[in-house]
Chains A and B, each alone.
Chain A
Amino acid sequence: MARIRLENITKSFGPHVAVDKLDLDVADGEFFVLLGPTGAGKTTTLRMIAGLEKPTEGVIHINQVNVNDWGPAERDVALVLQQYSLYPRLTVRDNLAFPLRSRIRKLSEADIDKRIDYASKTLRITHLLDRKTDRLSGGEMQRVSIGRAIVREPQVFLMDEPLSALDAKLRESLRSELKDLQMRLGATFIFVTHDQVEAMTMGDRIAVLNKGRIVQVGTPRDVYTNPRDTFVASFVGSPAINLLPGSLAGDVASVAQAFQMPITRSAAVEGPVTFGIRPEDVEVAAGAPNEARIHDVENHGIEKIVTLRVGDNLMRAAVPARVEVKVEEAVRFSWNPDKVMLFDAKTGLNLRGQAA
């Protein structure tokens, strides 16, 4: 069991700074997600924790011990990658046994068998044990990769987009399996993904990274309802948040010179701002104060995502599936004045906390 703490970690590759003054504190037994777009420095951060890469600056602590000079083997972490982590020449059983046969572990063959047995039952891969790994499907391969991490009973599981090469259905089922597994093992997980749905559904806490820096750390709910800036707001949530320029005078928002709407004020902000409103907080209803035209309709089964056109601006709203809408039809809409987010027009920073 382990607590991981990164203190002021910087990693440069030549002149390029991949990770910039990063501070993280991952609690023991936490499912911690590193979320960010491509090139954000997620993999680099994970590799530094694993000991495969040395930080240019800063200190990594595992259980309060500075492990900067420790090699990967000494850190007792397990790593699961998106691909290429299984040895192609070995059977599934030998892949699972491989970490256990390392000299530093000195396990008896009976113990090895016991652990393989446990892990393969947990992951339902018992029937695959004698197969060569190149005869496995993507989902089976990732199960085996996770199994190879489990058999070691490590302090920390590090996972670098382990599900992103899989198809949607499989990803969904492995997602809940993984979360389930983490709860049973009670181990610390650091899970890298660029998929915000994964982050939201699995994480106890999420760190949102961008360009090598941490933008925000918080629970999924925190990050969703109270994003620190427009980057986090638009990165998290699907369909994406509506960000509209406008200005604020009193408690009246003038949005994109197209419509006006009341908001619930909680900060003394005046003048130009960026308004953020999530599609589920936009309501399409007869008798609502503003008029728009339907620009586009996406059917998502339980709901429809309609894109409204107001003047030159597009705005997405989630409506129940039973509501009948047609493209170019005129409709009326309003928004939930409690849920409107305000961002600084220049810096993009959130100007007020949203009531949860």
Chain B
Amino acid sequence: MAVVSSRGQRIGNLLAIAAVIVVTFIMLAPIYWIVSTSFKPRNLATTNPPTILFEPEVSPFVKLFTKRVQLKPKEVVDYENAPWFERLVFDGGERITRSGKGEIQLSGYPDRFINSLIVAITSTLLAVSMGTITAYGFSRFKVKGEADLLFFVLSTRMLPPIVVAIPMFLMYRAAGLNDSHLGLIILYTAFNVSFAVWLMKGFIDEIPKEYEEAALVDGYTRIQAFFKIVLPEAATGIAATAVFCFITAWNEYAFALIMTNRRAQTAPPFIPSQIGSGLPDWTVIAAGTFLFLLPVAIFTFLLRNHLLRGMSFGAIRK
């Protein structure tokens, strides 16, 4: 493009680049801290000043997934025949506990992680599909009191959810939904559905209704037109809404803490609960946190093309 750029412009550009670098650095510092700590040997995790250069190891991840006990003084272990990951544990002065049959005992983390996946994925699917259908109805049909109903839908998000925690807890206990996947799924779906309705309404409003009408005239039913025309056109909006819902459900802490304890507990209340027992091993906590960050990052990354278009909320789409 322009070949001639004044000195002032060049300096401006340099300043902008510098600012971006500084901001990026500040933003990424906590992430770097989590990631690096999860690969550190335990004794380097809490040094002051922090250790920047070290030989990365995976022992924190091994510890994250297994139950371990401290080696007793003078306890003899079969170091030579142990698998590679158990040796890492031995090096830390611990051994992995085994069942009577000699199977390795897993820590609570994998189950909690799977719980998180079950709850977040299911509630996201539910909230997005219910939100899309509801938004379609509001967008395409004359609904009596549409504005009031939409406001009502949104008003469920105006109270901080934690305000209703105690009544919810009592209701859940009475209904037997405490500490169950279903309970959390219902809860997170209810959180997200109002948001999904609003977001999807905006996206569906942007899709010209002429497309569906053409399909109707061409011999399709409204439902067929919805699946064949509206859904593909709304893909961008659905992706954006799904990411939002997934992040909310994945990161939710307070209700998960109150409503679950073992069977259905998700990762967010579990990770900090490890801090309580004795001297915390920060490398293990960092490893758990690091893995916990991955699904959202991967999900967002996979949908990034949709998101970039979706986040403009129809401002760019005609």
Contact = CB atoms under 8 A, between A and B. Distances in A.
Interface of A: 50-52, 71-73, 77-79, 81, 83-85, 87-89, 98-99, 102-105, 148, 152
A81 B213 CA distance: 10
Nearest to A105: B219
B214 A102 contact: no
A99 B218 contact: yes
9 contacts: A71-B216, A72-B217, A73-B216, A73-B217, A81-B214, A87-B211, A87-B229, A88-B233, A99-B219
Nearest to A77: B217
B211 A98 contact: no
Interface in B170-215: 208, 210-211, 213-215
A73 B214 contact: no
Nearest to A82: B210
A92 B221 CA distance: 22
A41 B195 CA distance: 38
B52 to A, nearest CB: 50
Interface residues of B, number: 16
B232 interface: yes
B299 interface: no
Contacts of B232: 89
Contacts of B221: 73
Contacts of B224: 102-103
Contacts of A104: 219
Contacts of A72: 213, 216-217
Chain B interface, DSSP helix/strand/loop, else mixed: helix
A217 to B, nearest CB: 25
Given A87-B229, A88-B233, A89-B233, A73 B213 contact: no
Contacts of A98: 215, 218
A2 B224 CA distance: 28
Q: SS class of chain A's interface: helix, strand, loop or mixed?
A: loop
A251 B232 CA distance: 70
A145 to B, nearest CB: 9
A72 B217 CA distance: 5
B219 A78 contact: no
Contacts of A105: 219
A73 B218 CA distance: 6
A103 B219 contact: yes
A73 B224 CA distance: 12
A99 B224 CA distance: 12
B25 interface: no
B208 A102 contact: no
A52 B213 contact: yes
A276 B307 CA distance: 61
A102 B211 contact: no
Contact of B220 (A84, A102, A148): A102
Given A81-B210, A85-B210, A152 B233 contact: no
Given A81-B210, A88-B233, A152 B216 contact: no
A3 B215 CA distance: 24
A73 B211 contact: no
A144 to B, nearest CB: 12
Given A72-B217, A83-B210, A84-B211, 14 more contacts: A50-B213, A51-B216, A51-B217, A72-B213, A73-B219, A77-B217, A85-B214, A87-B211, A87-B229, A89-B233, A99-B219, A103-B219, A103-B220, A148-B214
Interface in B66-108: none
B214 A79 contact: yes
A256 to B, nearest CB: 48
Contact of B217 (A78, A87, A89, A103): A78
A116 B233 CA distance: 25
A272 B221 CA distance: 59
A73 B215 CA distance: 9
A6 to B, nearest CB: 18
Output the residue of B208, B213, B214 with the most chain A CB within 10 A.
B214
Nearest to A71: B216
B217 A102 contact: no
Contact of A52 (B217, B219, B220): B217
B218 A52 contact: no
B210 A73 contact: no
B220 A73 contact: yes
B263 to A, nearest CB: 44
A79 B219 contact: no
A72 B196 CA distance: 31
The 9 closest A-B CB pairs, nearest first, are A102-B219, A99-B218, A84-B210, A84-B208, A73-B219, A72-B216, A72-B217, A79-B217, A104-B219
Contacts of A152: 218
A88 B206 CA distance: 14
Nearest to B208: A84
Contacts of B216: 51-52, 71-73
B42 to A, nearest CB: 54
A78 B216 CA distance: 10
Contacts of B211: 84-85, 87
B114 to A, nearest CB: 36
Contacts of A89: 232-233
B233 A79 contact: no
A102 B218 contact: yes
Contacts of B229: 87
